[in-house]
Structure 1
Amino acid sequence: MKAIKITLVLLILLSGLLISGCLQQANDVVETSAETPTVKSTVQGTAAEAETRTITDMDGVVWTIPKEVKSVAANGAGNQIVFMVGGADKLVGTASVVQQNEMFVKIYPRITEVETIFVTGQDVNFEELVKLDPDVIIGNLDDAEEYGLVDLDIRNQSPEDIKTEVLLVGDLFGEEEYKKAEEFCNYYDGNLNYVTERTKNLTDEEKVKVFVAGADILSTEGIGSITTSWIENAGGINVAAEAGVKERGTISMEDLIAQNPDIIITRDSKTREELLTNDQYQDISAVKTGKIYVNPKGVYLWGVRSAETALQTLWSAKMIHPELFEDLDMNEETRKFYSTFYYYELSEEELDSILNPQ
């Protein structure tokens, strides 16, 4: 009997220990569940990573950006490319030169409401840019990373550069935008092939000497520039490059006169008029023959660093070698480009303002 009582006591004590252990385990579960926010934080981090992606700019720098880019700031010609691929509604910062472009404003009026970040060239309103905190900047800014901003470095000194930039910008926004970028690249390649097929067999003697004036008569672009690229494709020789000017620079008046270009292309009619009336330039062949042409200007100036360089490829060929491109209708080509890439039908007046700017 006594043995039975001892056994019962032992069973009770054992049960107590088991219950205590179970309670302790229950407490452990509660404590563990109290740490769930940390676990969720890790999950959120993993989810956040799923909401980001990497993109490599044209300098080979790899950036982490949101999976869905919702805001972009762009300088200069970058705005035209963003607009062309279909990302303009995500522009939160732009350049004053773009907001002053009548055709850009006419086709996309909202551009005047976007914050002006790039005032002139690389003069940047960093204070406002930091406030905007765009997902991506297309601006080639030296100091952007110091402010914790993603700034894609781009180059646009050749057709390959332009196409790569367009694809990069298209990739920022999504699949449809990337398809539009690819469509543009195919179009540009078609223009390049069309032109070079007719100019590739020209001898050096048959090539035309061309000078392109920039913001003023002697500012120009030379070796390694997009200007040299489209001149050479069109069967010409860039006299600024021949004189040793590198990329964007200045040619001396003496060198310009000595190079004696057959054709001069200017950005506006004011520069053209100055060339025609200034006695210092009267011995230049292009001035004597009146072969001074004002470069077309649409949503951006055709000849410099925007995707409208695809049209410049055609126009310059017709200006430099009209005998090879009698069948090329620039009215038709310009209408087609604006309809295809901007979904905009040009009026006769608008077409004239693009091809014959003042």
Structure 2
Amino acid sequence: MRTTTNMRLMMTMALCVLFSIQSGIAYNFALGIFGNANMDDTIDESDIAFIREIIGGTQKATAFADANYDGRIDEKDITQIQSIIMGNETNLTIVDGVGRNVTVSVPIENIVTIAGSYGPEMLLALGIKPLAISESKSHAVQLQDMLKDVPTVGSSNEPDSEAILGLNPEIVHCYENFYKQGSYEKMEKALNSRGIGLIAMDFHKPGNFDNAIRIMGYLLGRQERADSLIDFEESNMNLIQERTKNLTDEERTYLYFESSKDFATRGPGDNTYDAIVLCGGRSIFDDIAEPYPTVDPEAIIQRDPHVVIKTPDGFAATNNAEPLIEVLNSLKNRTGWQDLNAVKDGRLYFLNGGTRSVHNSIFCLFLAKALHPDRFNDVDPESIYRQWYNKFLGIDNNLVMVYPPSESWQ
């Protein structure tokens, strides 16, 4: 299979996106907190110096220079920045994931999250137990003990406003997409009437991760914890970038990635497709310019992938490999699949979607190891996955998330 100009263009665009949003080397973002006057990724003494230059007329005002959010840039903004640096500020104004300016009292101690399983997992990783959560079938088994006494308040897209108000939280955290769809209009009015803030912010999207985690770290008074989470992600992503950056088109591994539904794959515009490119792979369907295509089963056989990965969304993690083996056996038994190179070479893998969650770099390590075991022979993604849970949640996670075990991938 030869790479066409369009295919090369799509891969180049995907690489540019992934390197810019996931690599600690190339990544650059402006922390969305008022007080970040110089528009870098933190708030420090350089912001005070920048404010003085604005006041003195040698710098132009920036989007986040009005630290105390009163419509003026003056000495009071310097005082606010000093308070933020010292950790004794009483309020912060942030820009959430849908572009709203939200002012809240800090540090926040009582927070309700209605962002599925991602919200609770990240709050726990930051050292905060949520006041309440939304119902979710995909709550990781390993989190159930930590959340067993936390009440639920409806679903992510249909929250129970009365139940939330009855808990009197300081803020409510929600998914960005549901906010954009108008799912929270009624609830937001009720919250506003009680002085409760609503913050839409996604932790599970690679392009949002650093900014979202750092903002939440400031709001919760957990900046060091947030920095540690970011460092963990960047360390893994830098490793992947370093080991795959010089791959030629011919060295990229042809992959068929299948999500929950039979013959449903991912294409340009989807995070998983971008991750495949970043990790040194090429989708056998990279000529289909849509993010969520359903493909012809015969085309899979004709294009003969070197690797096949099945990643169902919301697949419950278990303590044994039998359910995963059943899924892989059903794939092997598809018509014509016995002759696929991936099946004959033993490169058919089950990868639980929970390996991504709020730690996308671990999912990428699994992809990289599956695609290029020779370049990652010293890396065991399962071990790193367990390290994350031990380090940030203080639990031993021995659930079977992949099959075969990643240490055997060759």
* TM-score, scaled relative to structure 2: 0.62
* Residue 178 of structure 1 pairs with residue 223 of structure 2: yes
* Residue 62 of structure 1 pairs with residue 101 of structure 2: yes
CA apart distance, 1:95? 3.3
CA 1:337–1:62: 2 relative to 1, 3 Å:
same
2-structure distance, mates of 1:229, 1:136: 31
2-structure distance, mates of 1:156, 1:254: 37
CA apart distance, 1:302? 1.5
Greater strand percent: which structure? 1
CA apart distance, 1:207? 0.4
* Residue 104 of structure 1 pairs with residue 160 of structure 2: no
CA 1:282–1:354: 2 relative to 1, 3 Å:
closer
CA apart distance, 1:129? 4.5
CA 1:356–1:279: 2 relative to 1, 3 Å:
closer
Judge conservation of contact 2:254–2:283 (CA < 8 Å) in 1: yes
- Superimposed CA distance per residue, residues 234-265 of structure 1 (whole angstroms, 9 cap, x where no aligned partner): 1112345542231x554443554454332121
Listed as ranges, the matches of 1:247-326 within 5 Å are 248=292, 250-267=294-311, 269=324, 270-279=326-335, 281-282=337-338, 284-296=340-352, 301-303=354-356, 306-326=357-377
CA apart distance, 1:86? 1.3
Name stretches of at least 5 consecutive residues in structure 2 with no aligned partner. Answer: 1-88, 192-196, 313-323, 406-410
Aligned to 1:25: none
Aligned to 2:173: 137
Greater helix percent: which structure? 1
Aligned residues: 291
Judge conservation of contact 2:268–2:274 (CA < 8 Å) in 1: no
1-structure distance, mates of 2:303, 2:200: 35
CA 1:249–1:156: 2 relative to 1, 3 Å:
farther
Out of 339, 349, 354, the residue aligned to residue 390 of structure 2 is 339
Out of 86, 95, 106, the residue aligned to residue 135 of structure 2 is 95
Aligned to 1:31: none
> Identity over the aligned pairs, expressed in percent?
24
Aligned to 2:124: 83
* Residue 146 of structure 1 pairs with residue 186 of structure 2: yes
Q: SS of 1:184's equivalent? A: helix
Q: SS of 2:398's equivalent? A: helix
- Superimposed CA distance per residue, residues 146-175 of structure 1 (whole angstroms, 9 cap, x where no aligned partner): 32244433356753322223223323311x
* TM-score, scaled relative to structure 1: 0.70
Listed as ranges, the matches of 1:160-239 within 5 Å are 160-174=207-221, 177-239=222-284
Q: SS of 1:65's equivalent? A: strand
1-structure distance, mates of 2:260, 2:224: 35
State the structure with more CA Rg: 1
Judge conservation of contact 2:268–2:289 (CA < 8 Å) in 1: yes
- Superimposed CA distance per residue, residues 75-126 of structure 1 (whole angstroms, 9 cap, x where no aligned partner): 2322221111112x23312332244x32112xxx24133233464x745555
Name stretches of at least 5 consecutive residues in structure 1 with no aligned partner. Answer: 1-49
2-structure distance, mates of 1:104, 1:226: 25
CA apart distance, 1:216? 2.4
Out of 43, 64, 72, the residue aligned to residue 112 of structure 2 is 72
Q: SS of 1:159's equivalent? A: coil
2-structure distance, mates of 1:159, 1:253: 30
CA apart distance, 1:204? 0.7
- Superimposed CA distance per residue, residues 249-295 of structure 1 (whole angstroms, 9 cap, x where no aligned partner): 54443554454332121236243222111216445432343321111
Judge conservation of contact 1:137–1:151 (CA < 8 Å) in 2: yes
Judge conservation of contact 1:331–1:351 (CA < 8 Å) in 2: no
- Superimposed CA distance per residue, residues 46-85 of structure 1 (whole angstroms, 9 cap, x where no aligned partner): xxxx954322112321113332321221323222211111
CA apart distance, 1:223? 1.9
Judge conservation of contact 2:276–2:283 (CA < 8 Å) in 1: yes
